[in-house]
Structure 1
């Protein structure tokens, strides 16, 4: 941390320690109940494989995709996994920033101090998220001693047991049904990446292009972070126009990044909407109370939480993620109704057949382009 020119831009260990210390405790469960929850989630994850593959028809019969592990974790485990993922994904950007800082007088000392500050800030954000995520397919997950991952940089599926128990109790729904419903959503993400070999590399390329276009001037970044903080508290310098409550990601980006972000938004809308469509499509066959679960879950999303919670969701861009679920699901549903599941699956042919941001809003335009329909 303190070697000349070698200071880390982010103190990752401090990020883990901070998030683990600040994260809310999970719901109270007995040791036996905890074991049963873990065992049931693993069974549901396994059962979901066949349900999702049969419904989506993304993986031809007789073809076995690359296997990726399923891990049932607590909130601290989710934090450790995501810090490892961030560290891997941001490595090229942070290395450039480290080299630039080491070339300036006092850069090593600034890097050591800044790394600790950034580690604490990242830890605070992760502690906020760690109590809210039900499950996650980690696309860019390096294998560690504690957490295995797929071969050749493949991902892993995480199911966050305490959060699933918390929400099923809050919604007062059948635990067995809710746990399977969540597993169906996350298994769809695993099927997307294991069944479409080029998808991970394409997404990684887009993210790296986004990071490479980052303005490396520290003062510019500080200024944009100041704007982000002002958007959170509703304060702006006199004479400035309202930014419309833009998220941190939107504020800290260049024009080139906005173009890349538009493509990323379209892909993420597709992936999230497809997962929602599949979990509801499979649901009636294997989840008896799927209609009740969906209705209560949608009401929970719409209600939000405290004013601070809503402000943080806006600042972190989480409200945009909720729109991705909604808009993406509408796109998938409209396309399947028009050309069937096999017709929809042309979306996975290549990066050129992915929908654009405008096509997510107008599914007929995607159908016309990809299926070459005159109308």
Structure 2
């Protein structure tokens, strides 16, 4: 619904209010403990810069202009709403121009902003208790949420969620906090050290959004068919690639052109997520004494999943695909580094043409052969 109608179809303030009202409370901590966690996360974020640069060979000695913000769940919601507003603005403007003459547009407009605000708020409330950290690539600066100059983004660390998971896993909290910061700092390094990456990713996303159906009734019909296909599927946590019942609602409402763009986006996101996982584990043994225990328990937590409802929501929203991106991307990075070394792997950042395709993510040797032009 957020992609139907004009800008007034999304009540952004209501989305924030809904999410902050519905989000689960964080773990109980004293005020002194909360302050200590925030201070430690800031220290780890700073120290992670040098660890990541040294391990990857990326970046410079210059200080990143992207701020590090340690936030609670409500702060994460506010930051992401601002990001959505920025990224979706061209699409919503396009919908606004089309809606006046579109069948059903008046009805959708009447329901509009409140409905979409609540829907978006419900989605954000679900995600706000699960995200440990996030590099906001397209974050606009606001009074309460600074961002880097010239679209430099910002790095968010969600303190309540980090504390919750470290307690759930029963791991050393200081090691776990540094381990998380290494992952998120890798994302910050990716975008600050590779100047063209942000514009490339934004272009792909805008291309995807530009292919969105502008006829509200057509979109509603596609959503209805997708929902029915999902409802008749097994609903298992594992993907059934042979049937629509195993695909997410997001995947099912795409046009053919959007599927092509999504294939490229999936490859890029797999690379970015897998690279961050590879770096956090590669740096870990030298600076995180209990990294092996943390990784093992974290993998078990991912595999175990949560409640049945949580599994269904993850499937519906396509979050299972993100978990596969971590796994497949890390396997790609590891295989390439073993074959051609870190310097050879870093050719991936040369230009959009050296990014791996979705097929190459699954078969790293094909990327090595193409980019390094191996005779064999």
TM range (shorter): over 0.9
Give the CA deviation at 1:70: 0.2
Whether the aligned pair in 1 keeps the contact of 2:6 and 2:99 (CA below 8 Å) is no
Whether the aligned pair in 2 keeps the contact of 1:232 and 1:312 (CA below 8 Å) is no
Q: Which secondary structure does the structure 1 equivalent of 2:289 belong to?
A: coil
Bigger CA drift: 90-99 or 181-190? 90-99
Aligned mates of 1:143, 1:298 — CA distance in 2: 35
1:12 aligns with 2:21: no
- Give deviations 1:170-217, integer Å, cap 9, x for gaps: 000000000000000000000000000000000000000000011111
Task: Find the counterpart in structure 1 of residue 199 from structure 2.
Answer: 201
Task: Find the counterpart in structure 2 of residue 287 from structure 1.
Answer: 288
Superposition TM-score, scaled by structure 2 size: 0.94
- Give deviations 1:120-141, integer Å, cap 9, x for gaps: 1111011000000000000000
1:309 aligns with 2:307: no
Whether the aligned pair in 2 keeps the contact of 1:65 and 1:194 (CA below 8 Å) is no
- Give deviations 1:59-104, integer Å, cap 9, x for gaps: 25x5x26510000000000000000001100000011111111345
Whether the aligned pair in 1 keeps the contact of 2:104 and 2:216 (CA below 8 Å) is no
- Give deviations 1:305-355, integer Å, cap 9, x for gaps: 111110110111100000000000000000000000000000000000000
Task: Find the counterpart in structure 2 of residue 353 from structure 1.
Answer: 354
Aligned mates of 1:353, 1:72 — CA distance in 2: 34
Give the CA deviation at 1:223: 1.7
Q: Which secondary structure does the structure 1 equivalent of 2:326 belong to?
A: helix
Aligned mates of 2:271, 2:340 — CA distance in 1: 16
Q: Where in structure 2 are the equivalents of 1:1-375 lying within 5 Å?
A: 8-60=8-60, 62=61, 64=62, 66-104=64-102, 107=105, 110-234=108-232, 242-375=243-376
Q: Which secondary structure does the structure 2 equivalent of 1:59 belong to?
A: coil
Question: Structure 1: any 5+ residue segments left out of the alignment?
Answer: none
Whether the aligned pair in 2 keeps the contact of 1:273 and 1:328 (CA below 8 Å) is yes
Superposition TM-score, scaled by structure 1 size: 0.94
Aligned mates of 1:129, 1:243 — CA distance in 2: 24
Give the CA deviation at 1:111: 1.9
Give the CA deviation at 1:235: 6.8
The 3 A distance-change label for structure 1 pair 320 and 303 is: same
Aligned mates of 2:243, 2:353 — CA distance in 1: 36
Moved segments of 4+, more than 6 Å = none
The 3 A distance-change label for structure 1 pair 35 and 232 is: farther
Aligned mates of 1:211, 1:166 — CA distance in 2: 35
